[in-house]
Amino acid sequence: MGEPRLKRSEPELEAPHLTVVPEARDATEPPSRAPLRPEEQAQKLRVLEALLFAASEPLDERTLGGHLDSSDDVAALLGALARTYSGRGVNLVRVAGKWQFRTADDLSHLLEKYAVEERRLSKAALETLSIIAYHQPVTRAEIEEIRGVQCSPGTLDALLETGWIRMRGRRRAPGRPVTYGTSEGFLTHFGFESIKDLPGLAELKGAGLLDSNLPPDFAVPDPRDVAALTPDEDPLEDEAGEDPQLDLLADAEGPDKETPEGDPPAG
């Protein structure tokens, strides 16, 4: 017998060398912010508090953030400041996408005797303002159709002077009438974040602002937040350089319709 033959062993395979590649972060993902130390946050809240207290108008987050570090979470800081003032006589509130200190709602009655009322709007003006708010963009003729009476140019003038409405554009229709809508000043004055915050049918009934004997098919329109021109609107001034104020002047030269106070003209 010959010598036993040794079985040749197979060479061991080396494990492949693995390289760990760090996961790429989404470019749209904001960089992580290191938590602020208590004394740092307190100082930043003091800055925001001072800016908002001194401002005569609401301030947006971009303006406020310009006084802080670029890495600061302005929205989170404002939220913390608002919580600090919650339950106090003055609250930090967000209106029309901006921030402002305001008297607490439950204490506003204490300040009524100190308030200075520069001008009281007529019933006709308030009705017109409501129609514009809920039906915008709307023309003067459309306002008249909804109210059922002709609208005096003085009524629209009074609302334009308050800064609560604005001339948006011109309707793509014969005569190219001016369209009206609410302004940022309207949202600020009435404390709305957006026009969609206008009260609905149930809220208006609960506040006693609607007649209890309403028609069964009565409905409150759903307000639309239409800051930009709609497809059936053109800019106020086209290539011909038309002045929208001429529309109001032309109406004023016509026959008497309705006085700014909503009463029939004196005979």
pLDDT tens sequence across 25-84: 555 555 566 788 888 999 999 999 999 998 888 999 999 999 999 889 999 999 999 999
Global confidence as pTM: 0.53
Q: Residue 10's pLDDT is what?
A: 54
48 φ/ψ angles, rounded to the nearest 5 degrees = -60, -40
pLDDT tens sequence across 163-208: 999 999 999 999 999 999 999 889 888 888 888 888 887 777 676 6
Domains with residue ranges and CATH for the chain? 39-104 (1.10.10.10), 123-252 (1.10.10.10)
Q: What is the DSSP letter of 59?
A: B
Strand pairing class (165-171; 138-139)? unpaired
CB neighbour class for 63 (10 Å; exposed up to 12, middle 13-18, buried from 19)? middle
Q: What is the number of other CB atoms lying within 10 angstroms of the CB of residue 178?
A: 22
